[in-house]
A and B are shown apart, each in its own frame.
Chain A
Amino acid sequence: LAKTTQPISMDSYEGQEVNITCSHNNIATNDYITWYQQFPSQGPRFIIQGYKTKVTNEVASLFIPADRKSSTLSLPRVSLSDTAVYYCLVGDSWGDYKLSFGAGTTVTVRA
């Protein structure tokens, strides 16, 4: 699994957009990028997954530049309930079922 680096914490206010950047300089050709969200006392919740360019769903957008050495998770108009830990994972399609969760980014949304 490619190593990832993301900020330890981020603060924001309700209604703002939150962008979390993850660095993965050693990403391999077959690797894709996955983001999870975890609330206290709950399991990680899948948010979004992508390989290149931009992916958008009802929860978030994922921006991946052409060199794929980083990716940015964008959470539009956050609310207090978006306060959670966000994890960036990188792995290939067939072998990396052993998901490796690091410290993640703790996002705190304030009123």
Chain B
Amino acid sequence: NAGVMQNPRHLVRRRGQEARLRCSPMKGHSHVYWYRQLPEEGLKFMVYLQKENIIDESGMPKERFSAEFPKEGPSILRIQQVVRGDSAAYFCASSTGTGEGQPQHFGDGTRLSIL
């Protein structure tokens, strides 16, 4: 009964490169959320997706960041032309819905380091 799987666990990129973070939700979960945690801060919401649809991307920077959750395969958070300020832990969560009794379950994150 696998939980939310994220890979890679650690990712190192140089400034200007692209970073791709993957998230496979729990079995049976069709709702995916991405959060970012900067050092010494709490998790901050970035984007909420359902299969093939972005529901809410209000927490995601308008430039360089994009997310998708295709019909087949994992959800992808893509960061283009990374900068040092993108260094953070990125967490993915999934749920069966957004109501009571449908809590979000989190993966163990991808730690992105920008050189």
Binding site for B on A (CB under 8 A): 32, 34, 36, 41-46, 49, 51, 87, 93-95, 97-104
On whether the beta carbons of B42 and A101 are closer than 8 Å, the reply is yes
**Complex formed: what's the CA distance from A100 to B14 in Å?**
30
Give the residue of B31, B45, B56, B100 whose beta carbon is less than 8 angstroms from that of A99.
B45
Give the residue of A34, A43, A87, A104 whose beta carbon is less than 8 angstroms from that of B103.
A34
Contact bitstring B33-47, A, C-beta under 8 A = 1, else 0? 101000000111100
A98 and B100 in contact (CB under 8 A), knowing A44-B43, A44-B106? no
Binding site for A on B (CB under 8 A): 4, 31, 33, 35, 42-45, 48, 56, 58-59, 91, 93, 95, 98-101, 103-109, 111
Measured between beta carbons, the chain A residues less than 8 angstroms from B58 are 98
**Complex formed: what's the CA distance from A35 to B46 in Å?**
20
Measured between beta carbons, the chain A residues less than 8 angstroms from B104 are 46, 97, 99
On whether the beta carbons of B98 and A94 are closer than 8 Å, the reply is yes
On whether the beta carbons of B109 and A100 are closer than 8 Å, the reply is no
Give the residue of A42, A97, A102 whose beta carbon is less than 8 angstroms from that of B42.
A102
Measured between beta carbons, the chain B residues less than 8 angstroms from A98 are 45, 48, 56, 58-59
**Complex formed: what's the CA distance from A36 to B107 in Å?**
13
**Complex formed: what's the CA distance from A44 to B91 in Å?**
9
Measured between beta carbons, the chain B residues less than 8 angstroms from A93 are 98-100
**Complex formed: what's the CA distance from A45 to B93 in Å?**
10
The listed residue with most B CB atoms (<10 A of its CB), out of A32, A51, A93, A98, is A98
**Complex formed: what's the CA distance from A41 to B109 in Å?**
8
**Complex formed: what's the CA distance from A19 to B59 in Å?**
33
Give the residue of A45, A95, A97, A101 whose beta carbon is less than 8 angstroms from that of B43.
A101
Measured between beta carbons, the chain A residues less than 8 angstroms from B111 are 41
A49 and B59 in contact (CB under 8 A), knowing A43-B108, A102-B42? no
**Nearest CB to that of B42 among chain A residues?**
A101
**Complex formed: what's the CA distance from A43 to B33 in Å?**
13
**Nearest CB to that of B98 among chain A residues?**
A97
**Nearest CB to that of A85 among chain B residues?**
B42
On whether the beta carbons of A46 and B98 are closer than 8 Å, the reply is no
On whether the beta carbons of A46 and B4 are closer than 8 Å, the reply is no
